[in-house]
């Protein structure tokens, strides 16, 4: 059991600090330092475990079925189509770029930062609008006007997820949970399918969508603190466990920045006990929508795929 | 409080450490290229090499003892300076390769010239450092300034002779060992066979012959088939000082593996695994980070090895794998500060450690320009500081003490006052004498024991 009283630091802030370190490491001179990023991923895992334990304990305390169902209903009312997709500008297969014979996840870490695309939470935008995406980069870069940095996906024609309450379907869904670093909201999106849609509409979108917050500073400090709100807003989708990501590892090289913030599932999976996670989730199932509960943990259940 | 560190030299004299010299710029504004990244004495201790972030190597030489001043040992003066590595760009991977010198290792001396290996993240170079103190004069067909003489004007012949000249030290690259490492090189170690050496990166260790640059043998490969299953990396590696078939490598998980090259060509399977079980009461978010080993060094006698992790130094008996025989806390007061040290990246600092000549004392660095010595026999330790304030010639270093709780005594320093930007990562001990080289960020301090 991790001694969590140390330094009065909580798991959430550690997670945000760690994510920032991994992000910064991509632009450091000399290339990504494998050792340091591995150690950071351990901190992420530890913080995640603590966070999940705390959350599970909290959820376990709220044992009332109606209470949970009410939340579920509220979430149902939110348009599940209001989901942003993370897309990546296609500058060729990252593996081709790098010439490195590494798995996709590793390749993508080597992509220049300029190829990262941010994710916009549709929760903040009308569903059909081309949401202006966010940049994960520093202030300086944010000021650039190059549209390739900012890509958006029209939130249209997204398939309604029929995965909400279906464990069977969930196992075949390609889901990614992403953190919106600007609006500080966690959303879970369907991965592969949406990505293809996104790319099709991409060209139209990125011309028009001007990022209003171009000069907005990415604030890593706060996005985690808003995770508390997530259960209210996250659509009731199953949190993607590592199984999904593995099933879709071949998509990783074409999708996302989800490689940057697409957490914990495909990266350093040796650190994560998938079985334990699933067992824990199932143990808490009981009468209520465990998937909904767990989806709120989606943000916390991923590690950074840095390599 | 002890006033010094006793050296087991048969007597029981307490050693008092005195300032001898400091090399490097005085101003506080540190140029990044001047940051010292490695320090190494050669086998006789006559030469002291430093490498820096700018890819330069500076070699100091100990002058012949000054007989008129018997109370102090001779000083180290600059002997040679050269640019070992330049920044490179890997176009295939769009990665810049830093020119920072990660390690320097001296080859045992075979002739008049000195040889050393220096490495950056990707490329190892063999440098020859030779002296030239005479030059040929009296050529028949060439003037002294190099102009050619018309043979038709030559009426008599003479034999060219060597005449003395001002000493010139030349460094020339003799071998370049490149393109063998995908990941960042962290160690090089010269084998006792005087023919081969190893180089280690995060995931692989390669064996080279000193003469052959186009071929190296991979002897350890811990890269998993699926990189997503990576759980540990290699952090340091070293050959045994006497057994040419034996080497060790440490990992980020706090384990050390001893390998025997006679067992198989690929030494993925260790002969011995040294690991101490983790104390569960100390578990924290940062347990993995602080257990990562940053340096491993064999003792000179080859019976022990020392490892450095973030908070401690451990001595291992090669015959006992289950736990170290000695553990020394370097700065235990930092255990409560790990989250701050994680935020400011200090927790990733890689401290090195070293043995003295007879393996009785070990030394390692800390923050606030402090460094620590642990006397294994006397079970005493001391904290000293490398600073300009204590830099009068022959000034005895005053032991320092860090106060962990709130009750700070006079002359003690509280943990919160420590300057974490002033870190001593690299130290070296003269192979025979009580002379130590301690590198602060951009200065090299040389201390020696007080000769009475």
Q: What is the pLDDT of residues B379-393, one digit of tens each?
A: 999 999 999 887 888
Of B92, B286, B337, the CB nearest to A99: B92
CB contact under 8 A, B348 and A36: yes
CB contact under 8 A, B93 and A99: yes
The pLDDT of residue B70:
56
pLDDT by residue (tens digit) across B127-145? 999 999 999 998 999 888 8
pLDDT by residue (tens digit) across A254-302? 333 334 334 443 344 434 444 444 444 444 443 333 333 334 334 443 4
Q: Between β-strands B36-41 and B95-97, what pairing exists: parallel, antiparallel or unpaired?
A: unpaired
Which tokens go with B364? Answer: 């390692």
Which letter does DSSP use for residue B335 in this model?
Answer: G
The pLDDT of residue B261:
94
* pTM of the predicted structure, to 2 decimals: 0.69
The pLDDT of residue A270:
39
Confidence of residue B26 (pLDDT cuts 50, 70, 90): confident
Bridge partners for B51 per DSSP: B38, B57
- Kindly state the helix (H) or strand (E) to which residue B265 belongs, with its residue range: none
Flag whether pLDDT at A253 surpasses 60.
no
B407–chain A nearest CA distance, Å: 20
The pLDDT of residue A54:
85
Which tokens go with A288? Answer: 């209520």
Residues of A with CB under 8 A from a CB of B: 1-4, 6-7, 9, 11, 14, 17, 21, 29-31, 33-36, 38-39, 42-43, 46-47, 50, 97-100, 102-103, 105-106, 110, 112, 266-271, 305, 307
B97–chain A nearest CA distance, Å: 5
The sheet with strand B361-365 has its strands ordered as B353-355, B361-365, B370-375, B380-385
Confidence of residue A9 (pLDDT cuts 50, 70, 90): low
Flag whether pLDDT at A154 surpasses 50.
no
The pLDDT of residue B129:
97
| Percentage of chain A exceeding pLDDT 70 | 21
Of A33, A47, A267, the CB nearest to B184: A33
The pLDDT of residue A28:
84
The pLDDT of residue A81:
60
pLDDT by residue (tens digit) across A102-115? 333 333 333 333 33
The pLDDT of residue A79:
59
> Nearest to residue A12, comparing CAs of A40, A52, A39?
A52
Which pairs with CB-CB distance under 8 Å and at least 24 residues apart come from B310-315?
B310/B334, B310/B347, B310/B349, B310/B351, B311/B335, B313/B353, B313/B362, B313/B364, B313/B374, B314/B276, B315/B362, B315/B376
Rounded (10°) angle between helices A34-61 and A11-25: 150
> What is the distance between the alpha carbons of residues B202 and B252, in angstroms, rounded to a whole number?
9
Which tokens go with A18? Answer: 């760690």
Contacts with A31 from chain B: Cβ below 8 Å? 93, 95-97, 121, 184
The pLDDT of residue B197:
98
Q: Quick one: how many helices (H) and strands (E) in chain A?
A: 15, 2
Contacts with A14 from chain B: Cβ below 8 Å? 285, 339, 342
Contacts with B348 from chain A: Cβ below 8 Å? 36, 39
Q: Quick one: how many helices (H) and strands (E) in chain B?
A: 2, 34
Of A47, A268, A271, the CB nearest to B285: A47
Which stretches within A143-273 are classed as H helix? 167-172, 192-208, 220-223, 230-233, 242-247, 249-252, 258-261
Which tokens go with B107? Answer: 């080859």
**Number of C-beta neighbours around residue B133 at 10 A:** 11
CB contact under 8 A, B96 and A30: yes
Which of B210 and A236 is assigned the larger pLDDT? B210
Which residue matches tokens 């060219």? B160
* Average pLDDT estimate for B2-20: 57
Confidence of residue A19 (pLDDT cuts 50, 70, 90): very high
Nearest CA in chain B to A43: B285
Contacts with A43 from chain B: Cβ below 8 Å? 285-286, 288-289, 342
> Nearest to residue B240, comparing CAs of B290, B189, B312?
B189
Confidence of residue A215 (pLDDT cuts 50, 70, 90): very low
Which pairs with CB-CB distance under 8 Å and at least 24 residues apart come from B178-181?
B178/B122, B178/B123, B178/B124, B178/B213, B179/B122, B179/B123, B180/B206, B180/B208, B180/B216, B181/B121, B181/B122, B181/B206
CB contact under 8 A, A112 and B98: no
Confidence of residue B274 (pLDDT cuts 50, 70, 90): very high
| Percentage of chain B exceeding pLDDT 70 | 95
> What is the distance between the alpha carbons of residues B449 and B452, in angstroms, rounded to a whole number?
9
Flag whether pLDDT at A29 surpasses 60.
yes
Confidence of residue B297 (pLDDT cuts 50, 70, 90): very high
* Average pLDDT estimate for B302-324: 97
Least confident segment among A204-213, B40-49, B59-68, B131-140? A204-213
The pLDDT of residue A64:
66
pLDDT by residue (tens digit) across B60-90? 999 876 656 655 568 999 999 999 999 999 8
The pLDDT of residue B356:
96
Contacts with B282 from chain A: Cβ below 8 Å? 3
Of A4, A7, A270, the CB nearest to B230: A270
Contacts with B93 from chain A: Cβ below 8 Å? 31, 98-100, 110
Flag whether pLDDT at A209 surpasses 80.
no
């Amino acid at each position: 059991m991790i001694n969590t009283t140390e330094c009065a630091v909580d798991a959430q802030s550690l997670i945000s600090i760690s994510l920032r370190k991994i992000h910064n490491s991509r632009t450091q001179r000399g290339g990504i330092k494998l050792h340091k990023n591995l150690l950071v991923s351990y901190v992420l895992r530890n913080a995640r475990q603590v966070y999940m334990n705390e959350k599970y304990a909290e959820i376990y305390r709220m044992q009332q079925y109606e209470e949970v169902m009410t939340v579920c209903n509220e979430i149902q009312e939110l348009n599940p189509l209001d989901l942003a997709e993370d897309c990546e500008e296609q500058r060729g297969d990252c593996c081709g770029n790098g010439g490195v014979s590494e798995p996709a996840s590793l390749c993508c870490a080597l992509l220049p930062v300029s190829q990262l695309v941010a994710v916009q939470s549709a929760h903040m935008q009308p569903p059909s609008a081309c949401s202006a995406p966010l940049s994960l980069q520093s202030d300086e870069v944010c000021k650039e006007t190059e549209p390739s940095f900012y890509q958006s996906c029209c939130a249209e024609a997204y398939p309604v997820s029929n995965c909400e309450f279906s464990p069977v379907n969930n196992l075949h869904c390609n889901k990614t949970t992403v953190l919106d670093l600007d609006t500080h909201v966690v959303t879970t999106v369907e991965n592969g399918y949406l990505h293809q849609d996104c790319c099709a509409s991409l060209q139209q979108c990125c011309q028009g969508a001007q990022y209003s917050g171009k000069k907005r500073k990415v604030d890593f400090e706060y996005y985690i603190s808003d995770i508390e709100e997530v259960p209210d807003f996250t659509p009731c989708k199953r949190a993607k466990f590592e199984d999904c990501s593995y099933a879709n590892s071949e998509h990783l090289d074409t999708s996302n920045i989800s490689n940057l913030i697409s957490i914990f599932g495909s990266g350093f999976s040796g650190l994560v006990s998938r079985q334990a996670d699933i067992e824990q989730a199932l143990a808490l199932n009981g009468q209520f929508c465990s998937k909904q509960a767990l989806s709120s943990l989606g943000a916390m259940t991923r590690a950074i795929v840095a390599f | 409080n002890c006033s010094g560190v006793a050296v087991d030299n048969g007597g029981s004299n307490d050693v008092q450490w005195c300032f001898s010299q400091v090399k490097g710029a005085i101003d506080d504004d540190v140029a990044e290229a001047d940051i010292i990244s490695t320090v190494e004495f050669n086998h006789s201790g006559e030469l002291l090499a430093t490498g820096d972030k700018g890819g330069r190597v500076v070699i100091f030489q100990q002058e012949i003892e000054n007989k008129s001043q018997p109370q102090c040992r001779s000083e180290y003066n600059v002997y040679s300076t050269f640019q070992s590595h330049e920044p490179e760009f890997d176009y295939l991977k769009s990665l810049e390769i830093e020119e920072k010198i990660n390690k320097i290792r001296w080859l045992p001396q075979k002739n008049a010239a000195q040889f050393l290996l220096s490495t950056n993240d990707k490329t190892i170079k063999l440098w020859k450092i030779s002296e030239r103190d005479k030059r040929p004069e009296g050529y028949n067909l060439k003037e002294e300034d190099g102009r050619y003489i018309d043979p038709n004007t030559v009426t008599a012949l003479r034999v060219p002779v060597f005449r003395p000249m001002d000493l010139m030290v030349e460094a020339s690259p003799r071998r370049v060992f490149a393109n063998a490492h995908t990941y960042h090189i962290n160690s090089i170690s010269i084998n006792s066979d005087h023919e081969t050496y190893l180089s280690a990166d995060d995931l692989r260790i390669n064996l080279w012959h000193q003469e052959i640059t186009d071929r190296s043998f991979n002897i350890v490969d811990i890269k998993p088939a699926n990189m997503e299953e990576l759980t540990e990396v290699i952090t340091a590696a070293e050959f045994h000082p006497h057994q040419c078939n034996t080497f060790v490598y440490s990992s980020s998980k706090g384990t050390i593996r001893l390998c025997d090259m006679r067992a198989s060509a690929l030494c993925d399977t260790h002969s011995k695994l040294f690991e101490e079980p983790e104390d569960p009461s100390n578990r924290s978010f940062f347990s993995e980070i602080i257990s990562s080993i940053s340096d491993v060094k064999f003792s000179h006698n080859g019976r022990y090895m020392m490892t450095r992790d973030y908070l401690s130094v451990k001595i291992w008996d090669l015959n006992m794998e289950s736990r170290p025989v000695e553990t020394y806390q370097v700065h235990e007061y930092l255990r409560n500060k790990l989250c701050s040290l994680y935020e400011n990246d200090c927790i990733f600092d890689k401290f090195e450690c070293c043995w003295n000549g007879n393996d009785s004392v070990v030394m390692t660095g800390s923050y606030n320009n402090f460094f620590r010595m642990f006397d294994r026999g006397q079970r005493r330790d001391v904290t000293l500081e490398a600073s300009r304030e204590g830099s009068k010639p022959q000034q005895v270093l005053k032991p320092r003490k860090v106060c962990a709780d709130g009750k700070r005594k006079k002359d003690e320093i509280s943990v919160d006052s420590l300057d974490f930007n002033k870190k001593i990562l690299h130290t070296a001990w003269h192979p025979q004498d009580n002379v130590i080289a301690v590198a602060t960020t951009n200065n090299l301090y040389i201390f020696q024991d007080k000769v009475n």
